[in-house]
């Protein structure tokens, strides 16, 4: 019998291997050749034992020693197997996988938007922009340099805004000449009714204001199709502040005379009426008095692209100051009457009453470099789908047998009397003076109470009774006792005890501690926890025995 079973098992094994091999060959052929929509293979048949039954045969009678017939019933047990038919479906489907590849993105050099740094130098003709009264007086301008550095941001291919700093100066040469008379003066001998005559001879002085400006502009640029040449212009305002303002008398002298009409006499070459050469005096140099300026400016010219990030600018500029920057206290040109000198104090022709309003201006040519920020090439991650043909194999079990298992758990409760004894071991919680804060020892006691109550019936409840010592007012003590009891109740709820099982009461200082034999106040500052036996609690009392 054993040999027969072994032979049968070998046959079943060979049959199973043959089925698997056939399936593998069929799948290989499906992967190498185009497939139809669905291909179905029979992978094999397997069996599983699911139970057994009984069948009775005919009785066999056996004769016993005493001549009676004993009936022996032979029962045959038959095992039943439920066969599960397995279908394997191979399907050719078009599928795809999301992948990521890295690509280097080069910046667009033709995009002129972005950040710029612009540096310019210029040379122009400028003047302080005022006139001198008198036919013999005149004012000439001078050449000066311009240094400019600014930042610009082009938010459009053709339009942008800029702001920066510039440094320049405005220089003028004043030429003074002429005769000036001062009637009815008094000389050093208190002689009245004399006329003072001042003659300006070959007078020349240089006046210079050094300005630091803040140009704020609207800019535009237009390029040809090839991008190698273009037009640039900037229009804006420029607040500026003087960082140097001075004058210097280069040449000239003044001759003074005294005319006495009563005597018909003219006096000259005297101390009071002498000739003064101002080029050798301290008064030949000094500072001008000017105000901050607000001006407008215009730049225009050609752009030449010499490198991917560099453009060369060649063009011209013009700036003009709106406001009158001269804030000098104007003095008459000539004798002032003190110490019989030329004037009280000479502050330059800019401070005389011959000078009009001052609006400095400048016009010139400039060259510069525009550096454009171009982002470096960057690597970006690009998601794409990799498409392929996928062979799906679906194994279907025609029938299935499920097994269900259940679990049962019993809950045992702690006897009530034992719970009461355990709670009474930790039922007094003490507090500091005028405090309802639990210390770590009190929290340990309360956790022990919570562990005991967790294994008792829900019908077992506790009464939390707060007390206070007799210091202080009665009303305050009652509120303090209530807070202490409430704090204990809250902590037990935090540990998981149902709030419905808790009763909170406050007795103030009306009940002394029965253990307080020495009547110390600190033992009255307490909370007592007592067990309340509810209905149905005693039916759990005899399930488990504990040692007393």
Please spell the DSSP secondary structure of 452-467, one letter per residue. HHTTS-TTEEEEEEE-
In this structure, are 56 and 184 located in the same domain? Answer: no
Structure tokens at 364: 């010139």
Residue 21 has pLDDT above 60, yes or no: no
Phi-psi region of 228 (alpha: psi -120 to 50; beta: other; left: phi over 0): alpha
Angle, to 10 degrees, between the axis of helix 474-494 and the axis of helix 440-453? 60
In this structure, are 230 and 133 located in the same domain? Answer: yes
In this structure, are 85 and 119 located in the same domain? Answer: no
d(CA 518, CA 32): 102
In this structure, are 84 and 48 located in the same domain? Answer: yes
Nearest to 346 by CA among 271, 291, 258, 281: 281
pLDDT average, residue stretch 533-543:
45
Residue 153 has pLDDT above 50, yes or no: yes
The residues facing 219 across adjacent strands are: 160, 234
Is 36 domain-assigned? yes
The residues facing 221 across adjacent strands are: 232
Higher pLDDT, 143 or 533: 143
Residue reference for tokens 């307080």? 516
Residue 199 has pLDDT above 50, yes or no: yes
In this structure, are 156 and 233 located in the same domain? Answer: yes
In this structure, are 449 and 363 located in the same domain? Answer: no
d(CA 374, CA 112): 9
Is 172 domain-assigned? yes
- The domain boundary residue, chosen from 37, 60, 91: 91
Residue 412 has pLDDT above 60, yes or no: no
In this structure, are 211 and 357 located in the same domain? Answer: yes
Is 393 domain-assigned? no
In this structure, are 164 and 258 located in the same domain? Answer: yes
pLDDT digits (tens, 9 = 90+) for 488-501: 999 999 999 999 99
pLDDT average, residue stretch 223-235:
93
In this structure, are 198 and 67 located in the same domain? Answer: no
Residue 72 has pLDDT above 80, yes or no: no
Alpha helices in 426-529 (DSSP H): 440-453, 474-494
The residues facing 146 across adjacent strands are: 122, 168
Is residue 216 very low, low, confident or very high in pLDDT (cuts 50, 70, 90)? Answer: very high
Identify the CATH number of the domain in which residue 331 sits.
2.40.160.20
Is 31 domain-assigned? yes
In this structure, are 227 and 356 located in the same domain? Answer: yes
Is 546 domain-assigned? no
Is residue 175 very low, low, confident or very high in pLDDT (cuts 50, 70, 90)? Answer: very high
pTM: 0.49
Amino acid 397: pLDDT? 62
Higher pLDDT, 537 or 299: 299
Amino acid 173: pLDDT? 93
Average pLDDT, the chain: 77
- The domain boundary residue, chosen from 324, 349, 376: 376
Nearest to 454 by CA among 481, 493, 425: 493
Number of H helices, E strands in the chain: 4, 22
In this structure, are 168 and 279 located in the same domain? Answer: yes
- Per the structure, the complete domain to which residue 341 belongs is given by 114-376
pLDDT digits (tens, 9 = 90+) for 437-496: 999 988 988 888 888 888 777 778 899 999 999 888 999 999 999 999 999 999 999 999
Is 11 domain-assigned? yes
Residue 67 has pLDDT above 80, yes or no: no
Higher pLDDT, 378 or 219: 219
pLDDT digits (tens, 9 = 90+) for 311-341: 999 999 999 999 999 998 887 776 555 544 4
CB burial of 435-455 (b: ≥16 within 10 Å; e: otherwise) equals ebebeeebeebbeebbebbeb
Amino acid 25: pLDDT? 39
Q: Do 432 and 525 form a contact (C-beta atoms < 8 A)?
A: yes
The DSSP 8-state label assigned to residue 499 in this structure reads: G
Give percent above pLDDT 70 in the chain. 70
Is 401 domain-assigned? no
- The domain boundary residue, chosen from 56, 91, 126: 91
Identify the CATH number of the domain in which residue 518 sits.
3.30.1330.60
In this structure, are 226 and 339 located in the same domain? Answer: yes
Number of domains in the chain: 3
Is 390 domain-assigned? no
Lowest-pLDDT range of 85-94, 212-221, 252-261, 360-369: 85-94
């Amino acid at each position: 019998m054993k040999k027969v079973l072994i032979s049968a098992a070998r046959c079943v094994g060979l049959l199973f291997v043959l089925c698997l091999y056939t399936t593998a060959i069929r799948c290989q052929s499906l992967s190498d050749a185009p497939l139809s929509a669905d291909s179905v293979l029979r992978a094999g048949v397997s069996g599983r034992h699911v139970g057994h039954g009984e069948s009775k045969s005919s009785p066999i009678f056996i004769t016993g020693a005493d001549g009676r017939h004993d009936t022996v019933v032979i029962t045959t047990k038959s095992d039943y197997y439920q066969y599960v038919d397995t279908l394997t479906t191979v399907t050719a489907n078009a599928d795809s996988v999301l992948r990521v590849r890295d690509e280097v993105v080069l910046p667009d050099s033709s995009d002129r938007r972005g950040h710029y740094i612009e540096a310019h130098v210029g040379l122009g003709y400028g003047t302080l922009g005022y006139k001198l009264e008198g036919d013999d007086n005149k004012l000439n301008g001078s050449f000066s340099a311009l240094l400019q550095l600014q930042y610009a941001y082009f938010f459009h291919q053709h339009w942008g805004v800029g702001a920066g700093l510039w440094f320049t100066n405005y220089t003028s040469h004043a030429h003074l000449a002429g005769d000036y008379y001062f009637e009815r003066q008094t000389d050093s001998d208190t002689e009245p009714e004399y006329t003072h005559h001042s003659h300006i001879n070959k007078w020349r002085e240089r006046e210079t204001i050094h300005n630091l400006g803040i140009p704020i502009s609207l800019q535009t640029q237009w390029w040809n199709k090839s991008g190698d040449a273009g037009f640039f212009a900037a229009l804006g305002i420029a607040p500026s502040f003087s960082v140097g303002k001075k004058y210097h008398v280069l040449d000239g002298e003044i001759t003074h005379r005294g005319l006495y009409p009563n005597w018909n006499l003219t006096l000259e070459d005297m101390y009071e009426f002498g000739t003064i050469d101002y080029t050798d005096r301290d008064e030949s140099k000094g500072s001008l008095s000017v105000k901050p300026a607000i001006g407008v400016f215009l730049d225009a010219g050609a752009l030449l692209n010499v490198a991917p990030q560099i453009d060369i600018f060649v063009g011209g500029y013009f700036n003009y100051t709106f406001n009158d920057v001269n804030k000098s206290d104007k003095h008459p040109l000539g004798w002032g009457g003190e110490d019989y000198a030329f004037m009280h104090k000479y502050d330059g022709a800019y401070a005389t009453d011959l000078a009009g309003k001052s609006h400095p201006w400048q016009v010139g040519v400039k060259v510069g470099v525009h550096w454009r920020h171009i982002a470096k090439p960057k690597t970006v991650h690009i998601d794409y789908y990799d498409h392929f043909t996928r062979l799906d194999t679906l194994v279907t079990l025609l029938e299935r047998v499920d097994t269900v298992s259940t679990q049962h758990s019993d809950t045992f409760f702690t006897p009530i009397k034992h719970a009461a004894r355990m709670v009474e071991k930790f039922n007094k919680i003490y507090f500091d003076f005028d405090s309802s804060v639990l210390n770590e020892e009190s929290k340990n006691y309360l956790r022990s109470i919570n562990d005991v109550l967790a294994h008792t019936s829900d019908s077992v409840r506790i009464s939390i009774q707060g007390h206070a010592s007799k210091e202080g007012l009665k009303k305050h003590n009652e509120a303090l006792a209530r807070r202490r009891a409430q704090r204990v109740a809250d902590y037990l709820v935090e540990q998981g005890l149902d709030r419905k099982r808790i009763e909170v009461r406050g007795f103030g200082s009306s009940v002394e501690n029965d253990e307080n034999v020495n009547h110390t106040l600190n033992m009255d500052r307490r909370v007592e926890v007592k067990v309340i036996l509810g209905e149905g609690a005693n039916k759990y009392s005899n399930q488990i025995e504990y040692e007393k």
